Structure 1
Amino acid sequence: MIFSKIKKYFLQKEIQQSSKTSKRVVANNKVKNIGIVSTMELNDVYEFEQKVKKLFPKHRSVNWYLFREFHKGDEKSFHHFSDNDFNWKGKINDVSLQIFVDTPFDLLICYFDTNHVFLESLVKQSQANFKIGFSNVNQSLFDLEISERIDNIDSFHAEVEKYLQILGSIEAS
């Protein structure tokens, strides 16, 4: 319990410090590699992934990671992470999660609409070229913020498509 609070404290402090000093440079490349970060509240990951693939038909890969609370009985998954994957100073100690963070995605879709220190830390550390998320989360995280309800997936995808067409990252349909 106390270690969890220490982790959250260090992660929050790191996010705040890097928010003050970070300068984003956004590439104008076509989207090929896509990363998705969300919580277990995303009920149908497969449906969400299919909509992303439909939006980007010429993509190379879609990789995703979902946050879930740590329970000792949970099996290790290469698509889930928990607070247990961070050490007490807030650094990632899981190899597969670190590989995900170090992957230079052309687009990182951050599908969560509340402040969540572990997800925010993951997004902040990500080497993605362009990050999209919800507007009611930490504004320093994203290059493009969408103001939409989280349960309205179709509208979110329509907004993402519209703005990426304007930016020239995808072809007009």
Structure 2
Amino acid sequence: MFLNYLKDFSTKKIVKNSLSNVKHLSSDTIIKTVGIIFDESYFYERESLVNELIQNGIDETKIKILVFKDKIKKNETFDYPVFSHKDLSWHATVDKKEVNDFINEPFDLLINYYDTEKVALLLVSHLSKASFKVGFATVDKRLNHFMINTNAENYKVFVEELFKYLKILNKI
């Protein structure tokens, strides 16, 4: 327990320090591929959110999902990639292949769908190669290019605001 706290503290310090050196690049690309990072500890409407994205014109085959869970039981199986605190190393890297594949995917849009800062989520979002990152205003401002001020339970409001501003920015 205490070692997990130290690992989280160390990783959070590394991520926060590297966020101070972030240079936001402007991207004029139209959004075709979407990656979504969920925190399943608080938000269980994953499929509803994906359906809202599909209804707004995103191709279902171009959406990839990565889910964070606080605790993963031994015999638990999932139909989507899942990671937890156990997949983090002491040096702010991720040891799971599915997570590294997600990080290295050059998404046109990355949706950071979590409104509480957890070290594992911050790390994966920061390391992602996505060209445009969207998240909640309650998370570190340096992590996302665009922030929406709502809570995670209001996924319809989030998607509505997201597409309103994507149209203004000529991203869709």
**Given the two structures, how large is their TM-score scaled by the length of structure 2?**
0.91
Q: In the TM superposition, what is the alpha-carbon distance from 1:63 to its structure 2 partner?
A: 0.6
Q: In the TM superposition, what is the alpha-carbon distance from 1:42 to its structure 2 partner?
A: 2.0
Local SS of the residue matching 2:51: helix
Cα distance change, pair 165–12 in 1 and its aligned pair in 2 (3 A): same
Identity %: 26
Q: In the TM superposition, what is the alpha-carbon distance from 1:100 to its structure 2 partner?
A: 0.3
Q: Which residue of 2 aligns with 1:43?
A: 44
Moved more, 82-91 or 99-108: 82-91
Distance 2:82 2:65 in 1: 8
Q: Is the 8 A contact 2:32 2:62 kept in 1?
A: yes
Q: In the TM superposition, what is the alpha-carbon distance from 1:98 to its structure 2 partner?
A: 0.4
Q: Which residue of 1 aligns with 2:6?
A: 6
| Alignment gaps of 5+ in structure 1 | none
Q: Which residue of 1 aligns with 2:125?
A: 123
Counterpart of 1:26 in structure 2: which amino acid? S
Q: In the TM superposition, what is the alpha-carbon distance from 1:68 to its structure 2 partner?
A: 0.5
Counterpart of 1:11 in structure 2: which amino acid? T
Cα distance change, pair 6–160 in 1 and its aligned pair in 2 (3 A): same
Q: Is the 8 A contact 1:31 1:56 kept in 2?
A: no
Q: Is the 8 A contact 2:49 2:156 kept in 1?
A: no
Counterpart of 1:64 in structure 2: which amino acid? I
Q: Give the superposed CA RMSD.
A: 1.6
Q: Is the 8 A contact 2:38 2:46 kept in 1?
A: no
Q: In the TM superposition, what is the alpha-carbon distance from 1:6 to its structure 2 partner?
A: 2.5
Number of aligned residues? 170
Q: Write out aligned runs for 1:127-166 (5 A).
A: 127-166=129-168
Q: Is the 8 A contact 1:34 1:108 kept in 2?
A: yes
Counterpart of 1:164 in structure 2: which amino acid? L
